[in-house]
Structure 1
C-alpha cells in the first residue's frame, strides 16, 4: 500500500431516493430540513441541498413502500432536531404519518414519509 491513498479516498456526492412522486418527496424533505429545492428534472425528479449535502428524489411508477416493520429496510434517514416534539408535529403537518410500531422508546421516533418510507427523528446530539 502506498502512502498516498488519494485515489482510494472518496466522498458521498449525493444520495438518491425513489418514491411515487419524486418532486413531492423533494418538497417534503426540503421543508422538513429547512433546505431548498435546488434543481428539478422535468416532472419526475428534484434535488435538494443545504449547500453541503445533496439528495435527489426520483419518481418510480412501480415504487412500492416497504411493509415496515415486516420488510427489512434497504436504507433510511435519521434526522435530528432541537425540539423533537415540535418537529414531529410539523412533519405530520407536511404529510408524514406515525406508525404504531415505535421501537426507539425515548431515543427516537419512527415516521413514514409521504411515500411510505420509514425515517427516524431524534434529538440533536442523540446517537442512539
Structure 2
C-alpha cells in the first residue's frame, strides 16, 4: 500500500490593504509613487466608491485602499506601528523630492542615523525610503 503525504496549503498574498480617511487620495499617491495604476473602484452599499485597487502593469502586485470615516493616523513616533512600507530608490534624494511633491510630508523625528528617511503618506502613515539594496538571503 502506498500512502501519499497530503500537501501543506501555502498562501499567496492577494492584496496589501490600507485604510485612510480618503482611500482614493491614498490610492493615487501610491500609484504615482510606485509607477502603478489605479485599476478599479468598488462602491459601498450606497454606491459610493470606498475601495480602490492599484496594481503594477502585469497585475502581479495589488494594493487596496479603503476609505474609513473613523480613520486616525498613528501618533508616530509615540505609537508603535503594526507595519509600514520601505521603499527604495536608486536616487534617494530625487525619490524624496518626488514623494514630497505627491503629498508626502517629512516629520522632524528621523531615526536611523541617515540610513533611511521617514516620510508620512497623505493619510499620516509613516513609511521609509532608502537607497536600493541588493538583499541576499
Q: Same fold judged by TM-score > 0.5?
A: yes
TM-score by structure 2 length? 0.85
CA RMSD of aligned residues (A): 1.5
The CA deviation string for residues 19-56 of structure 1, in whole angstroms up to 9 with x for no partner, is: 01001100000000111111112332211011211100
In the TM superposition, structure 1's runs of 4+ consecutive aligned residues that sit over 6 Å from their partners are none
- Tell me which residue corresponds to 1:94: 102
User: Aligned-pair distance for 1:84?
Assistant: 0.7
For the residue of structure 2 that corresponds to 1:31, the secondary structure is helix
Q: Which runs of 5+ in 1 are unaligned?
A: none
- Checking the alignment, whether the CA contact within 8 Å between 1:99 and 1:112 is kept in structure 2 is yes
User: Aligned-pair distance for 1:81?
Assistant: 1.1
Q: Which runs of 5+ in 2 are unaligned?
A: 44-48
CA–CA separation in structure 1 for the residues paired with 2:96 and 2:125: 16
The answer to whether structure 1 residue 125 and structure 2 residue 126 are counterparts is: no
- Checking the alignment, whether the CA contact within 8 Å between 1:107 and 1:126 is kept in structure 2 is no
1:111 to 113, 116, 119: 119
1:45 to 51, 59, 68: 51
User: Aligned-pair distance for 1:69?
Assistant: 0.3
CA–CA separation in structure 2 for the residues paired with 1:101 and 1:4: 51
CA–CA separation in structure 2 for the residues paired with 1:124 and 1:49: 21
